[in-house]
Structure 1
């Protein structure tokens, strides 16, 4: 199984890029992992919130393949502790044949078409984070999950 984090827009801040690169490299020892970026929608000043959300959704859906298991990172999704998330990843590794795709939405969330395509929703926190922070938190938690599953000392209880 390959894990993909699909996100709108690129990461601009160097410190986020550097931190994500550290965790991406560490993750490569455990499983195939990719960060995929959908370009930001242009000329958003001329678009309504709904139009922008729909264009972002179309771009995201174009990157999702048939057979992908899609998990939206959504504030209304299920929340897990780090240990519970590691068990979640372990279960998915036995049931998802190709790609487990986690999706970070745009500033207005996901349009209905993306919700309909999703298999489930997961929340990283009840708090609101920037999209760049969500990417970093997710990659770190995925790495943490892998170390938990492998009995390594990165995670302490």
Structure 2
């Protein structure tokens, strides 16, 4: 299985990079994983609704340019379906069973995802109703993907 994580913005914090590198290395025995960063749109603090939509649309165009037609896309969104680690494991397992060998997770920027990206997604997923910085979400998602593969392999890591 091929897993791709598309995230908006460049990861700067060393501790986040190190954590993602560790889980990426661990995932190597389960899947091929790729992390893709797309540039975030620079924007001032106080944006109007129209300006926020424009920022999300520009970032959305960059995200969609990195997604191929055959990819199963999961949008990480606070309003998405609330899932457990076991739920994620089942979804990845179902993708494999149904021939969807390329799964792409999308994490939006600080303003979220554009409607065009959400529309392209095959599903919307949430790890909770809390707001996480999008950089931290990359680490959490990478760990949860690793946990899902461990669950599907019958290992006890997830306990």
The answer to whether TM tops 0.5 is yes
Note if 1:68 corresponds to 2:71. yes
Q: How many residues align?
A: 155
Aligned Cα root-mean-square deviation (Å): 1.6
- Alignment partners' CA distance in 1, 2:154 and 2:123: 28
Structure 1 residue 121, shift from structure 2 partner: 0.3
Pair 1:20 & 2:12 matched: no
Return 5-14 or 84-93, whichever deviates more. Answer: 84-93
Give the Cα–Cα distance (whole angstroms) in 1 for the partners of residues 90 and 53 of structure 2.
36
Residue of 85, 89, 99 corresponding to 1:86: 89
| Deviation, structure 1 residue 64 | 0.9
Which residue of the partner structure matches residue 36 of structure 2? 36
* Alpha carbons 1:69, 1:99 under 8 Å: kept: yes
* Aligned pair partner of 2:152 in 137, 149, 152: 149
Match of 2:58 in 1: 55
C-alpha deviation, 1:127, in angstroms: 0.6
How much has 1:37 moved relative to structure 2? 0.6
Per the normalisation by structure 1, the TM-score is 0.92
Which runs of structure 2 are paired with 1:123-138 in the superposition (5 Å)?
Answer: 123-138=126-141
Q: CA deviation at 1:97?
A: 3.2
Which residues of structure 1 form unaligned runs of 5+? none
TM-score (norm 2): 0.91
Asked if the contact 2:84–2:127 (Cα under 8 Å) also holds between the matched residues in 1, the reply is no
| Uncovered stretches (5+) of structure 2, i.e. residues with no partner | none
* Shift of residue 5, structure 1, vs aligned partner: 0.6
Alpha-carbon offset, residue 96 of structure 1: 4.3
Cα distance in 2, alignment partners of residues 100 and 141 from structure 1: 14
CA contact (8 A) 1:57 1:110 kept: yes
> Residue 45 of structure 1 corresponds to which residue in structure 2?
44
